[in-house]
Structure 1
Amino acid sequence: MTSVSQTALAVQVARLYYHQGLTTGEIAAELGLSRPKVSRLLSFARESGLVEIRIHDPAAQPHSLAGQLQERFPGVQLQVVGVPPGSPEEDWLPRVAQATAALLDSLLRSGMTVGLAWGNTLDAVSHALTPRRLGSLDFVQLNGSANIQELVSGFVTDTVTRFARNYGGRAHLFPVPTFFDDPRTKQMMWQERSVRQVLDLQAQADVLLYSVGSSAAGRPSHVYTAGALDEAAQAELGRLGVAGDIATVFFRDDGSWEDLPINARASGPDLEFIASHPQSVCVVSGLGKVPALHAALRGGLMKRLIVDEPTALALLQRVTAPEA
């Protein structure tokens, strides 16, 4: 059976099962198939994205955790991912990564360009993806990562190429430093044709996928551990009231980012691009990221947020706590 005929048959089976309420035995009799074949076609329909299953619990809204946060950040679509009660924090990220992978399957279409801001969270998402060949997809790295440690580890390149391989797309790496020593060097580099090609592709991205970086995270963000920031630079961030970063571009506790000197040396996109993008997806897991996440939400730095339940609860407690 060709992939086209299998897809058509899977759609037909799914309509009979989900829309008309037929059992697998009834579908098998109607279409002249075996019941195991019907079951395999239903599984194929779900795994390939032909069918999406959503659970809407009326009793959970508007008093659910997501609903309460939605009231405070109405411009953001929120998805709170449940985790086993009492589970350790290191078990939360895989759940969030799986939820993000499922969301991507519903968002991505052939011909799209996806901007990726590398880091621990997106690396976890890349490992949670279900193989699905869409073709004509471009995955472009949003911020540079060229340093000796990265060249040896391959952490960033592996993450971006893993996304591309999963969907049968193309990976576009950004071989410039995470931070330039001098803003003038960055300005000159940005005039190079090969760099401009990547920058132009970033600007065309249909979907942006990223997390918020924080030095206070239980597993500190990769930018803080990979040698991109020396002690002097990290001390400067503290003096300037920096809460975190997106694609290695920093923002303050109030969500603002303008006029931070280090951002003139950063290779990531201006955060105005993130804030104004219609399909910007932020993925966060871990209690240590709550202050940075709160600041990013105050700055309007996402249109969609996927977050684990304990982190969402800590965020809600933070935003509802009376000011001292």
Structure 2
Amino acid sequence: MVKEDMIFKVAWYYYMEGMTQQQISELLDISRMKVVSFLEQARQEGMVQFKVRSEQGNRIKLEKMIIEKYGLEDAYIVPTSPDNINKSIAKAAAQYINEKLKEDDFINIGYGETISYTLHYLLSYLEKKVSFISLAGGVSVYANALIGSSQQRNSFNPADIYLIPSPLILSTPELAETFCKEKSVKNIMDMTQSSDYTIIGIGALNRDATIYKEGHISDSDLRVLERKGAIGDILSQFYDKDGNILDVELHKRLISVKLDTLKEKKNVIGIAGGPGKLPSMHAALISGIVDILITDEESAQALLDQY
């Protein structure tokens, strides 16, 4: 057998048949060192060419461009789902976060539908012991996701969930201020300062917003916020097209960690996608709050093309 044929055989068995170097050595009756040498020659002579699947390569390029455009630490972009985009992005977020987590990490959790989906999926993957801390009141959104998932996983310890024991919004600023001084509330808010990761959703100013669907704000509230220049929200705190947090009375009635505080934290993961959220996503990304973006391919491309 001529040398070129031998090199081709070694490359074929290794890359196409999935055989180990030892198996090829025994099959062709040559040393392992010779197998290694032939594989290197196959690459150098162009017998073996590595190609990344184009669609995956495009997403990696998009991630790099999004990171550079917004000065992010990281981005994770997945194919756009034709069905439920929130669930698709949430599943991707859960996979990403699960890979990053270490034993005994603390994770701050935001407010909204996408975050609930993310927690549900994350707890189905989770093998490490971690703790979750809520960034805002309104425990039912978190509890339904966390308790439902923990019941599926006997190893999950409900004691590792720390939820602020209050509504999301109170009737007056004075009442909210009093609640925030309560020891049970203050202790959990203090815990959020030492977390390893923070997971937040990015909301749009429309009737699909969780804060609207749950009845916390009305149509007239939406109109008032729109006149004030609101374009989106994080943790039910609204900001304008330039990412500036608005000075509105609603914010004073919230039981929530403030967005200015999040700007000082590392590993803040923003999860959002869809054409209706593009303006709010762009504003959130230029605000300096988000360090890591998880979104879908079409949304990422639109952010690059339209802003």
Q: TM-score range by the shorter chain?
A: 0.7 to 0.9
Residue type of the alignment partner of 2:290 = M
Match of 1:192 in 2: 182
Q: Aligned partners of 1:264 and 1:258: how far apart in 2?
A: 11
Name the TM-score, length of structure 2 as normaliser. 0.74
Residue type of the alignment partner of 1:177 = P
Aligned pairs for 1:175-214 (under 5 A) are 175-214=165-204
Q: Aligned partners of 1:192 and 1:63: how far apart in 2?
A: 46
Would the alpha carbon gap of residues 140 and 24 (structure 1) be closer, same or farther in structure 2, given more than 3 Å must change? farther
Residue type of the alignment partner of 2:142 = V
Contact 2:205 2:222 in 1 (8 A): no
Q: Aligned partners of 2:195 and 2:238: how far apart in 1?
A: 21
Would the alpha carbon gap of residues 79 and 160 (structure 1) be closer, same or farther in structure 2, given more than 3 Å must change? same
The alignment status of 1:65 with 2:62, answered yes or no, reads yes
Residue type of the alignment partner of 2:175 = T
Gaps of 5+ in 1: 1-20, 27-54, 147-153, 320-324
Would the alpha carbon gap of residues 24 and 105 (structure 1) be closer, same or farther in structure 2, given more than 3 Å must change? farther
Structure 1 position 70, deviation (Å): 2.6
Q: Aligned partners of 1:221 and 1:108: how far apart in 2?
A: 29
Would the alpha carbon gap of residues 285 and 317 (structure 1) be closer, same or farther in structure 2, given more than 3 Å must change? same
Gaps of 5+ in 2: 1-17, 24-51
Match of 1:35 in 2: none
> For this pair of structures, how many residues does the alignment match?
258
Would the alpha carbon gap of residues 25 and 223 (structure 1) be closer, same or farther in structure 2, given more than 3 Å must change? farther
The alignment status of 1:306 with 2:294, answered yes or no, reads yes
SS in 2 for 1:227: coil
Q: Aligned partners of 1:64 and 1:96: how far apart in 2?
A: 18
Match of 1:216 in 2: 206
SS in 1 for 2:195: coil
Contact 1:249 1:263 in 2 (8 A): yes
The alignment status of 1:295 with 2:283, answered yes or no, reads yes
Residue type of the alignment partner of 1:279 = N
Would the alpha carbon gap of residues 164 and 279 (structure 1) be closer, same or farther in structure 2, given more than 3 Å must change? farther
Identity of aligned residues (%): 23
Aligned pairs for 1:126-137 (under 5 A) are 126-129=119-122, 130-135=124-129, 137=130
Name the TM-score, length of structure 1 as normaliser. 0.71
Residue type of the alignment partner of 2:295 = V
Which has the larger Rg? 2
Match of 1:122 in 2: 115
Structure 1 position 114, deviation (Å): 0.7
Residue type of the alignment partner of 1:186 = A
